[in-house]
């Protein structure tokens, strides 16, 4: 669902890039904050099985509500393809996303742990295989979703008007979630269900809270200091728990810089997808949609994880290099930073090819001469100097950038017509068609003022005939176009095969279409309709010229960073955590993802950077700085074996019990001493 989410915000809800990015990362952050709630519910009250079932229902309901929110006909009373009450769609979207965040976050810490519960203590190998298959299935699902969901989104659906089918893109995952839940419930009799044992996270939180409050109460200089701040909990909690929390706190301290990595990593679904909308996705026989470029990440993960485990790491070990887990994570952060430097270079190349759209205080005007004589266009760009352009018959001029107070007129010989610019708006493009046959006449229309959505192509028609004409493209009728009138813009694929027309007198005509590029916009002038349709193409917005393949290096770098950072980080967290606090560190790890997405909101909101490439550089520079800090922290970190520390406590407990039994006159092997003496 996330594969198309940012495009849904931009092109259906009609939010701009920044707000779409903010809401996207807010949603991801909530998804990674709620696992704590799910872990507490599962361990304290319901158990993992019931938690998964109940929260999966919440998950599915949220997905259904999100699908309903994307139905444009829901509030489209006038049937113009635009919802009459956008607030309803926004409200339903937010409710759906909130329920999805609660559901997915709540089951996140439970599903893998529930799978692990199905194995006995002696089945370590089978349990390890399960987690490998589980990890592989996640990435396989991610790969399939980033391929299929954009295809579903690219379909056209609707009752009254046809638009991109976001209801289908969200509805299919909702249906699959319901099916998966049913399958999971059907298998209930076969599962091993561990009863809730009390949440260790609650115990840890209480112990830490008591240590802090006890230290605050005993802050007098006369009171002796203790070796560690957690030692202030000894009055109430046993030393084993305190020692275990110390291990956890040491690792959590290392987690502090980690959110910066996720701040960059999760922008694949937001900024990088938006970047792809301005690129060419033509891969020959395959047309890649902007949101499908995210498939590169799971594909590379599936390929790179076994290569790293079977080839790279063993090779480094043979070279006798100390590539410790924390060093791997440092390298992963550096690779992610390099990915954003590469993204910045790609963005700079994209910006060189983008049209120069007008700023807020100006507009742009293009004049097309459909007359039989030369046209002289006079621009009075107050307070700028006046200037003129000469257009020969059937020539389209370039866009001229004008002040909102500007005036313009067109002259054919002795006849002059003033272009009606009294109601033009800033940041907007306009086209004025004018003819002198049989007399001078003009028509002003509003053009596209940004690249066509989702890398598509927008075309419209101008009827330069004496009679009206009905145009058909891709089996869709555009409606009747009056003489010297404009049709509405229509979103088309790269190459529609035919353009057909039927005049009011019944005359039919057709012509093969040219192949449009990604992100282009054309005005097509109909000059004649005999057996063949005589048309002219006027390019309003040039096609995307930078190929999406140029994103592959940045995806490769950030995926390589993910493999050595994320997989290693999970392994490191597991190895450094006490046996009963693995879930605490897993929750802490998930929180770094949440805080990373919050960082995106803070940095992007506070920076006010207008150039996207500069924002990429900012994120990359911040991660490099954080990477250096993390490397210093890692240098002073001492690896421990929690099992050995816990074993020492077990020995101390045994000794303590033995002494207590001796004090009571009990022999461990023969019972009371009095009986052995007899």
Per-residue pLDDT tens over the stretch 367-378: 999 999 999 999
- Phi, psi (degrees; rounded to nearest 5) at 236: -125, -30
Task: Using alpha carbons, list the distances in angstroms from residue 286 to 31, 474, 494.
Answer: 33, 19, 11
Task: Using alpha carbons, list the distances in angstroms from residue 375 to 390, 395, 406, 417, 441.
Answer: 6, 9, 19, 11, 12
**Contact predicate 11/491, CB 8 Å:** no
**Range of lowest pLDDT (298-307, 432-441, 578-587):** 578-587
Q: Which of 198, 156, 187 is nearest to 476 (CA)?
A: 156
pLDDT at 663: 72
**Range of lowest pLDDT (68-82, 333-347, 405-419, 636-650):** 636-650
pLDDT at 495: 61
Give percent helix, percent strand, percent coil of the chain, each to the nearest 5: 55, 15, 25
Per-residue pLDDT tens over the stretch 487-546? 988 888 666 678 888 888 888 898 888 888 788 899 999 999 887 889 999 999 998 889
- What average pLDDT does range 164-189 have in this prediction? 92
**Range of lowest pLDDT (406-410, 454-458, 624-628):** 454-458
Residue 336 has which token pair? 């992610």
Looking at per-residue confidence, does 110 or 92 come out higher? 92
In the DSSP assignment, the letter for residue 434 is E
pLDDT at 172: 92
pLDDT at 585: 75
Q: In whole numbers, what is the pLDDT of the chain averaged over residues? A: 86
Is 73 a residue whose pLDDT tops 80? yes
Per-residue pLDDT tens over the stretch 30-65? 998 888 888 888 877 888 899 999 999 999 999 999
Per-residue pLDDT tens over the stretch 117-139? 888 878 777 876 677 677 778 87
Q: CA dihedral defined by 528, 533, 539, 542, rounded to 10 degrees?
A: 180
- What average pLDDT does range 549-571 have in this prediction? 89
pLDDT at 677: 38
Apex CA 633: angle with CA 630 and CA 638, to 5°? 130
- Phi, psi (degrees; rounded to nearest 5) at 213: -65, -40
- Prediction pTM value: 0.78
Looking at per-residue confidence, does 525 or 325 come out higher? 525
Is 455 a residue whose pLDDT tops 70? no
Is 308 a residue whose pLDDT tops 80? yes
Looking at per-residue confidence, does 567 or 28 come out higher? 28
Residue 378 DSSP SS3: strand
Q: Which of 450, 451, 473 is nearest to 518 (CA)?
A: 451
pLDDT at 180: 93
**Contact predicate 456/519, CB 8 Å:** yes
Place of tokens 């002259």: 411
Distance in Å from the first CA to the final CA of the chain: 78
Is 678 a residue whose pLDDT tops 50? no
- What average pLDDT does range 367-390 have in this prediction? 89
The model's confidence at residue 676, banded by pLDDT at 50, 70 and 90, is: very low
Residue 229 DSSP SS3: helix
CA distance 180 to 173: 10
What is the percent of the chain where pLDDT is above 70?
94
Strand 286-287 relative to strand 282-283, pairing: antiparallel
pLDDT at 428: 95
Q: What is the chain's length?
A: 678
Per-residue pLDDT tens over the stretch 631-661? 999 988 888 877 787 777 777 767 777 777 7
């Amino acid at each position: 669902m996330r594969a198309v989410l940012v495009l849904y915000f931009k092109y259906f809800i009609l939010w701009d890039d920044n707000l779409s990015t903010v809401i996207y990362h807010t949603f991801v952050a909530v998804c990674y904050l709620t696992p704590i709630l799910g872990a507490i519910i599962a361990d304290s009250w319901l158990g993992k099985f019931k938690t998964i079932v109940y929260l999966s229902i919440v998950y599915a309901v949220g997905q259904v509500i999100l699908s309903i929110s994307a139905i444009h006909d829901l509030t489209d009373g006038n049937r113009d393809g635009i919802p009459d009450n956008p607030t309803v769609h926004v409200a339903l979207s937010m409710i759906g996303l909130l329920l999805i965040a609660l559901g997915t976050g709540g089951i996140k810490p439970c599903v893998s742990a529930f799978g692990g519960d199905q194995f006995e203590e002696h089945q370590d190998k089978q349990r390890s295989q399960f987690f490998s298959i589980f990890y592989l299935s996640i990435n396989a699902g991610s790969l399939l979703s980033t391929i299929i969901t954009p295809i579903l989104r690219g379909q056209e659906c609707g009752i009254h008007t046809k638009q991109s089918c976001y209801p289908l893109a969200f509805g299919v995952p909702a249906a699959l979630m319901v099916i998966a839940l049913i399958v999971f419930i059907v298998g209930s009799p076969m599962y091993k269900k561990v009863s809730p044992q009390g949440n260790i996270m609650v115990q840890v939180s209480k112990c830490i809270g008591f240590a802090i409050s006890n230290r605050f109460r005993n802050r007098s200089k006369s009171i002796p200091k203790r070796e560690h701040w957690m030692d202030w909990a000894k009055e109430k909690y046993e030393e084993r728990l305190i020692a275990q929390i110390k291990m956890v706190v040491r690792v959590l301290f290392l987690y502090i810089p980690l959110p910066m990595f996720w701040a960059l990593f999760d922008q694949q679904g937001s900024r990088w997808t938006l970047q792809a909308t301005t690129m060419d996705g033509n891969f020959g026989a395959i047309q890649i949609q902007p949101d499908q470029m995210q498939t590169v990440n799971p594909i590379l993960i599936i390929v790179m994880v076994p290569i790293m485990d079977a080839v790279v790491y063993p090779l480094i070990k043979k070279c006798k290099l100390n590539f410790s887990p924390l060093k791997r994570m440092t390298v992963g952060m550096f690779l992610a930073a390099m990915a954003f430097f590469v993204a910045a270079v790609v963005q700079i190349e994209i910006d060189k090819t983008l049209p120069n759209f007008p700023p807020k205080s100006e507009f742009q005007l293009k004049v097309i001469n459909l007359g039989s004589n030369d046209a002289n266009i006079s621009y009075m760009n107050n307070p700028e100097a006046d200037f003129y352009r000469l257009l020969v018959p059937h020539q389209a001029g370039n866009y001229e950038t004008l002040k909102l107070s500007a005036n313009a007129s067109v002259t054919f010989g002795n006849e002059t017509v003033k272009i009606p610019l009294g109601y033009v708006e800033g940041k907007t493009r306009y086209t004025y068609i004018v003819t002198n046959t049989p007399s001078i006449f003009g028509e002003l229309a509003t053009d596209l003022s940004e690249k066509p959505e989702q890398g598509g192509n927008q075309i419209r028609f101008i009827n330069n005939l004496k009679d009206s004409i009905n145009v058909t493209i891709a089996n869709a009728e555009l409606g009747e176009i009056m003489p010297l009138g404009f049709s509405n813009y229509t979103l088309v694929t790269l190459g529609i095969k035919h353009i057909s027309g039927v005049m009011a007198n019944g005359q039919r005509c057709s012509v093969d279409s040219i192949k449009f590029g990604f992100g282009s916009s054309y005005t097509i002038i109909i000059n004649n309709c005999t057996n063949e349709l005589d048309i002219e193409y006027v390019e309003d917005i040039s096609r995307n010229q930078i190929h999406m393949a140029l994103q592959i290096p940045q995806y490769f770098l950030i995926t390589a960073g993910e493999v050595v950072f994320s997989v290693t980080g999970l392994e490191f967290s597991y190895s450094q955590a006490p046996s009963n606090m693995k879930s605490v560190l897993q929750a802490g790890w998930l929180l770094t993802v949440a805080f990373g997405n919050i960082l995106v909101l803070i940095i992007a909101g506070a920076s006010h950077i207008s150039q996207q490439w500069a924002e990429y550089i900012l994120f990359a520079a911040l991660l490099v700085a954080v990477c250096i800090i993390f490397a210093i922290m890692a240098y002073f970190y001492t690896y421990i074996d929690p099992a050995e520390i816990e074993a020492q406590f077990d020995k101390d407990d045994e000794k303590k019990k033995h002494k207590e039994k001796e004090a009571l006159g009990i022999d461990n092997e023969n019972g009371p001493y009095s009986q052995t003496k007899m």
